[in-house]
Amino acid sequence: MTLQDIKLRFGIIGNNPLLERSIEIARQVAPTDLNVLINGESGTGKEVFPQIIHQNSSRKHGQYIAVNCGAIPEGTIDSELFGHEKGSFTGAHEARKGYFEVADGGTIFLDEVGELPLTTQARLLRVLESGEYIRVGSSKVQKTNVRVVAATNINFNLAIEKGKFREDLYYRLNTVPINLPPLRERKDDIYLLFRKFSSDFATKYRMPAVKLSPEAEQALINYYWPGNIRQLKNITEQISIIEKEREITLNSLLQYLPNYHTNTLPAITTNLSGQSGAANEMNERDLLYKVLFDMKKDLNDLKKVVHDIVKVGGNTLGNLPSDDLQTIDRLYNTEHHFPVVASSGEIQIHNPIIVKETQDGFTQPIVLEESLSLQDKEIDMIKKALKKHKGKRKYASQELGISERTLYRKINEYKIVD
């Protein structure tokens, strides 16, 4: 069965390379008995791929059973999967076969497999390893020949780290992974899907199909689609039924797109949902932002203390006459990008200055060239503050305009001996 044949048979719309790659993997792995784990966000169409695998395998004449693990209560999940004996628990009035017994020789699709309780995960691991299971309330070991295809929208690495999913079971299920792209990564397919759903609902409700204006079409494509294909289908159905006009304008469409202006921006989420490479990149970006903000804070700390630390002719800059400050201001506002004395009185200094007394009795500010290293300047300022207050860190931190804890940290970091 070719790629196009599979698309036509299972109603898959789209030509996205990532989607076609997923279909190709499913087609290639189908003739084998390897376990398959399908990863993807909710609403991406994960339930179609187990059917592709089953119908293209030698088990296609056997049973195909889809089980939503998240919808079965924890107290009955073992009974549903592996069966139970009569009287094994309250309400067990007769023996019952489980899905693994019924689907012997066929395929079981375990949707939302990450929701399984740990005790059930242990039973499932035994089935995958040896094909053996025991009914609830029985001691007799039974055999089954079932192919397992599982799907999830959680991040298994986080689930394993938190002890919510067995690592050995994950590796058993993840023999062949299939990753489905979210709808926002299939922008060229969004309008194709809308037209398909619009045509289907027009036939279902016996009305003309809705169309989008160019502006509305662009908004549809740019939307974030947190609910993926399922959300797009639901919105198309709402528009088809509610809107009287068959050509949908931008204003009309935006009424059906929740938080459109928010969702068109990138967002960072911290949950157990599947994270792609882009999500990991955003986490690294967060770390970089934090480093930059810390650097900015250190720079602000330095700016606060410059006028108390840098001495000019034995006096701090804050004590200089206004004429001298203006002289310094003119001197620093040159093409050499020296610091500026701001109108607010805040002084930003890159190179230290001294005042030299001339023969006529006047003072002249002179710029001294020295290292532009921020670390060297910070060390120098801390040493000066400690020397001024005779090593008393409490008063030195007040002089520097930083907390005493920050001063302790920097002394240890720079190995300053006070």
Element (H, E) at 231: helix 228-242
d(CA 18, CA 14): 10
Taking a C-beta distance cutoff of 8 angstroms, is the pair 29, 18 a contact? Answer: no
**pLDDT exceeds cutoff 50 at 97:** yes
Selected residue with higher pLDDT from 266 and 416: 416
What are all long-range contacts of 75-78, with beta carbons under 8 Å and residues at least 24 apart?
77/116, 77/117, 77/120, 78/119, 78/120, 78/123, 78/136
pLDDT mean across residues, the chain: 81
- Give me the pLDDT at residue 385, please: 85
Q: Reduced to 3 states, what is the DSSP secondary structure of residue 48?
A: helix
Q: Reply yes or no on whether the pLDDT at 261 is more than 50.
A: yes
Going from N- to C-terminal start, the domains of the chain cover: 3-179, 184-263, 297-414
Classify domain 3-179 by CATH number.
3.40.50.300
Residues pairing with 65 in the sheet: 108
To 10 degrees, the CA torsion angle through 57, 58, 64, 70? Answer: -50
CATH topology for the 184-263 domain: Helicase, Ruva Protein; domain 3 (1.10.8)
Alpha-carbon torsion angle 192, 198, 200, 206, nearest 10: -160
- pLDDT tens, 335-371? 444 444 444 444 444 454 444 555 555 445 554 454 5
Is residue 387 within a helix (H) or strand (E), and if so which, with residue range? Answer: helix 374-388
Q: How far is CA 307 from the centre of its chain?
A: 45
Instruction: Give the model's pLDDT for residue 268.
Output: 47
Measured distance CA(279)–CA(238) in Å, rounded: 32
Arithmetic mean of pLDDT, 134-144: 92
Residue with tokens 């201001």: 329
The predicted model scores a pTM of 0.62
pLDDT score of 359: 54
The residue type at 280: N
